[in-house]
């Protein structure tokens, strides 16, 4: 961290990134000097996209912002934060149902590193029901996701769907 700079880490799986995430990144930029988007390397969860693909898709969306960078991480989030000089985690909070999981993570992260604080931000109402899990489900069942997911991400998902269908043949 450069002297006095406020650095936030937006951490998540982002499998894939959707407009609710982009909305939170934008809100974050209005409060913090720098935003590090930290993409979890979580092969055990069998993600749709590799961590490199997820990082690349987010970079495409934020490359015009000099105050944003996108990095993959594995291991403890608090350790990654030490490496990038951040003490604030920003998480989007959509509904009460998110609260318990987020509350547990926030307190555990603070227990792991007393300097770490978690800040919650609410996305635009129109994205308040959106999750990567639902995006994948609706996409693979043929639903229309325009306006909820960046076009470039939808195109990658279509390529992935084609590859999966090809593998089945
Ligand atoms: O988008 P997600 O899957 O809800 O994000 C969860 C994430 C990546 C923030 C969380 O799983 C995480 O921080 N994982 C890294 C491992 C870690 O630090 N675990 C202890 C957190 S309490």
Residue located nearest, by CA, to atom 13 of ligand 1 = 77
* Digit-coded pLDDT (tens) for 144-158: 999 999 999 999 999
The yes-or-no answer on residue 132 being catalytic is yes
pLDDT of residue 1: 54
The yes-or-no answer on residue 21 being catalytic is yes
pLDDT of residue 35: 98
Residue located nearest, by CA, to atom 18 of ligand 1 = 76
Q: How far is the CA of 106 from the centre of ligand 1 (A)?
A: 10
**What is the CATH number that goes with domain 7-168?**
3.40.50.620
pLDDT of residue 67: 98
Residue ranges in 19-112 assigned as alpha helix (H)? 19-29, 51-62, 77-84, 96-112
pLDDT of residue 96: 87
Ligand 1: nearest atom to the Cα of 132:
1
Q: How far apart are CA 116 and CA 119, in angstroms?
A: 10
Dihedral angle, C-alpha 42, 123, 55, 61, nearest 10 °? 160
Q: Partners of 10 in the beta sheet?
A: 37, 90
The yes-or-no answer on residue 94 being catalytic is yes
Residue located nearest, by CA, to atom 3 of ligand 1 = 13
Ligand 1 binding pocket (C-beta < 6 A) is 11-13, 40, 76-77, 105, 108-109
H or E element: which one contains 161? helix 151-168
Instruction: Assign residue 2 a region (left: φ > 0; alpha: ψ between -120 and 50; beta: otherwise).
Output: beta
CA distances from 26 to 9, 64, 115 (A): 13, 12, 24
pLDDT of residue 97: 86
DSSP β-ladder status, 117-121 and 34-40: unpaired
Examine the pLDDT at 73 and tell me if it is beyond 80: yes
- List the catalytic residue out of 2, 45, 146, 168: 45
* Digit-coded pLDDT (tens) for 75-109: 999 999 999 999 999 999 998 889 999 999 999 99
């Amino acid at each position: 961290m450069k002297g006095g700079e406020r650095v936030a880490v937006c951490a998540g799986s982002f499998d894939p990134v959707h407009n609710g995430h982009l909305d939170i990144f934008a809100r974050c930029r209005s409060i913090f000097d720098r935003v590090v988007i930290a993409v979890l390397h979580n092969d055990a969860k069998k993600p749709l996209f590799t961590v490199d693909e997820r990082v690349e898709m987010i970079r495409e969306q934020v490359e015009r912002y000099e105050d944003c960078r996108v990095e993959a991480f594995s291991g403890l989030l608090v350790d990654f934060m030490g490496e990038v000089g951040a003490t604030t985690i920003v998480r989007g909070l959509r509904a009460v149902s998110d609260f318990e999981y987020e509350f547990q993570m926030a307190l555990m992260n603070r227990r792991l590193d007393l300097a770490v604080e978690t800040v919650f931000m609410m996305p635009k109402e129109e994205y308040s029901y959106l999750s990567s899990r639902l995006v994948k489900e609706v996409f693979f069942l043929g639903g229309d996701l325009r306006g909820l997911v960046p076009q470039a991400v939808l195109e990658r998902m279509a390529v992935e769907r084609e590859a999966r269908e090809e593998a089945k043949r």
